[in-house]
Structure 1
Amino acid sequence: MAGELGTDIASLVSRNEQTILPEWLELQEKAGTLHTGRISKGELLSQSRNFLHLLRDALAKGGSDVANAAFEPAKAMLAELSRARALQGFSPTETATFIFSLKQPLFIALNREKTLSAEQIASSLWAMTLLLDALGLFTLEVFQKSREEVIVRQQREISELSTPVVKLWDGILALPLIGTLDSQRTQVVMENLLQTIVDVEAEIAIIDITGVPTVDTLTAQHLLKTVAAARLMGADCLISGIRPQIAQTMVHLGVELNVISKATLADALAVALRQTGRAVVKVKRAETETGPDRKTGRQGV
């Protein structure tokens, strides 16, 4: 039965393609597919025509059962289209419209058939509805999965960008943290810091938490893990950016970092310089810049 219905619908599509295609395109345009500017009218026409041909071939070979292997080429095209639209920023509704807007042109074409009985029309309508609903759900599933992959990749990239390791001095690194620390981000922080410690042979790493809004027990544990990992690589750690509110919270929670902490990054850098046997001193301006030249007696510029 499904095979016969599929053959009948395939014949319907083949006979009425010249009217189905423009009607389908018009409905997609009305739905706003072209308004975003992410796809051209020519691309939409090409995608629609190709899918209509693949759908016709699948119906002729595999009936109206979407699970049939004959529908794999059509589903592969839908998967590629869904992934592309997910990357282009299309909404789920805009993507699903590609399939669901095909219902009306097919139904209109079916109603034009004068040789079919009411029972045949009803059977074909039901088969087409089930078929397009299944293909539409498949399209949405691929689109949703692709969007999730994009979001995960963007989160990973943002996490990497928000945890830069900066070389402040020979052997001294700084890791400014911004935002909340969670387990996944702590792993990225550790990897970036440890690799940079190895690359520049750093002796001291300053972890600056000025941009961390709150420090709770979990955040403190993540900091301690990072400090411990750095020490295993031979680098001592300092923590800077301890604000009064954070200090009070940590005391209230009974959190002990067991590491030197400073209020500002500048204070932590001064400690790091002392620990490495260095110091920053203010250089006096040359006398020729502020007073008379000793040889000529002229005023310096």
Structure 2
Amino acid sequence: MSQNTYQLLQNKKKNILELWMKNQLTDEGLREDLISNDELRNQSEELIDALVGNLSGSNLTNLESDEWNPVIEILGGIAITRARQGFSPRETGNFVFLLKEAILEVLQNEIDDPRALFAESQKINRLMDSLSVVTFETFIKGREEVILRQTDEITEISTPVIRVWDGILALPIIGTLDSARTQIVMENLLQEIVESGSSIAILDISGVPAVDSLVAQHLIKTVSATRLMGAECIISGIRPEIAQTVVHLGIDLSNIITKATLASALAYSFKAMRLEVKRLNTVSKI
């Protein structure tokens, strides 16, 4: 970029900022529910100060150079924050696209020579497009972090170990079992067995949509780990379609206690622990 253009953008920095803010505030994708106008202005002002300060460099496209670190850090921080706040990729991308439009508009108003305008506009286009790529890459990383965190939280919530009676635990499983989730199920169940001293654990799979050979292997591993801790494991929630699938796949569950419902498993547990539950006959008074 020529020294004249760099000096022009330095002198017109406030104009660029105001034009950029106008573009953002009138954009249909403005998310006032996620960010205030004051916060938006602070982000914009911080980025444009760092950006214009770097335009004097000879290499405008090599964003790997150290001189672009301040710009990349600011832009990356904004992208990560917006990913966590719930902005869409389009809304985040517009933050950079609208800045490019503002800079190009200022150049068009201030440079009279068509050739010089074309050359400088090309440089700005390449630079801002490179910054857009950086923004999207950082945004995607931020969104992946959010998804992974939410997945972990959902997994924790969906695998609660419940103390249904002294010495009896129940773990209702909802959703598909995979290797990672099976590990969490086993860890939670074994930890609760140690803390409660329970001798019976019920795995209820009535919320599992389907059982294939992989899911069955995960269940068998969980049962084996439970037995190593000195507790008996019962699998409940065996629906007819699941039973047919297990038989069709040739999966051997003969050495595992299975029950059709959680109530049946609980009744079996009471009997195994020599507990008796009786219904009290109540007489209503008139």
Tell me, in whole angstroms, the C-alpha distance in 2 between the residues paired with 1:182 and 1:217.
11
Letter in 1 for 2:200: I
TM superposition score normalised by structure 2: 0.93
Is the contact between residue 236 and residue 260 of structure 2 (CA under 8 Å) also seen in structure 1? yes
Matches within 5 A, 1:264-275: 264-275=261-272
Is the contact between residue 204 and residue 236 of structure 1 (CA under 8 Å) also seen in structure 2? yes
2:196 is the counterpart of 1:203? no
TM superposition score normalised by structure 1: 0.88
Distance of aligned partners of 1:87 and 1:9 in 2 relative to their CA distance in 1, 3 Å threshold: farther
2:100 corresponding residue in structure 1: 103
2:87 is the counterpart of 1:90? yes
Q: Percent identity?
A: 45
Distance of aligned partners of 1:6 and 1:239 in 2 relative to their CA distance in 1, 3 Å threshold: farther
1:22 corresponding residue in structure 2: 18
2:174 corresponding residue in structure 1: 178
Structure 2, unmatched stretches of 5+, are none
Structure 1, unmatched stretches of 5+, are 291-299
Measured after TM superposition, the shift of residue 18 of structure 1 is 2.8
Measured after TM superposition, the shift of residue 205 of structure 1 is 0.3
Distance of aligned partners of 1:13 and 1:63 in 2 relative to their CA distance in 1, 3 Å threshold: farther
1:45 corresponding residue in structure 2: 41
Of the candidates 148, 166, 189, which is equivalent to residue 162 of structure 2? 166
Measured after TM superposition, the shift of residue 78 of structure 1 is 0.6
Tell me, in whole angstroms, the C-alpha distance in 2 between the residues paired with 1:106 and 1:283.
82
Letter in 1 for 2:247: V
1:229 corresponding residue in structure 2: 225
Tell me, in whole angstroms, the C-alpha distance in 2 between the residues paired with 1:160 and 1:7.
58
CA RMSD after TM alignment: 1.9
Count of residues paired in the alignment: 284
2:122 corresponding residue in structure 1: 126
Of the candidates 235, 238, 241, which is equivalent to residue 245 of structure 1? 241
Structure 1 residues 235-257: Cα deviation after superposition (integer angstroms, max 9, x where no partner): 11011111122112211211122
3-state SS, counterpart of residue 202 of structure 2: strand
Measured after TM superposition, the shift of residue 29 of structure 1 is 2.3
3-state SS, counterpart of residue 60 of structure 1: coil
Of the candidates 33, 52, 57, which is equivalent to residue 56 of structure 1? 52
Tell me, in whole angstroms, the C-alpha distance in 2 between the residues paired with 1:262 and 1:186.
20
Is the contact between residue 30 and residue 91 of structure 2 (CA under 8 Å) also seen in structure 1? no
1:279 corresponding residue in structure 2: 276
1:74 corresponding residue in structure 2: 71
Letter in 1 for 2:265: A
Tell me, in whole angstroms, the C-alpha distance in 1 between the residues paired with 2:2 and 2:239.
71
Structure 1 residues 57-103: Cα deviation after superposition (integer angstroms, max 9, x where no partner): 12235652422212111111111100111111111111011111112
Is the contact between residue 213 and residue 249 of structure 2 (CA under 8 Å) also seen in structure 1? yes
Structure 1 residues 138-192: Cα deviation after superposition (integer angstroms, max 9, x where no partner): 0110001100110111111101101111001111100111111111211111111
Measured after TM superposition, the shift of residue 111 of structure 1 is 2.2
> Quick check: 104-113 or 188-197, which moved more?
104-113
Measured after TM superposition, the shift of residue 35 of structure 1 is 4.1
Distance of aligned partners of 1:101 and 1:155 in 2 relative to their CA distance in 1, 3 Å threshold: same
Distance of aligned partners of 1:9 and 1:97 in 2 relative to their CA distance in 1, 3 Å threshold: farther
Tell me, in whole angstroms, the C-alpha distance in 1 between the residues paired with 2:99 and 2:138.
19
2:186 is the counterpart of 1:157? no
Tell me, in whole angstroms, the C-alpha distance in 2 between the residues paired with 1:221 and 1:274.
28
> Quick check: 159-168 or 21-30, which moved more?
21-30
Measured after TM superposition, the shift of residue 284 of structure 1 is 4.4
Is the contact between residue 28 and residue 101 of structure 1 (CA under 8 Å) also seen in structure 2? yes
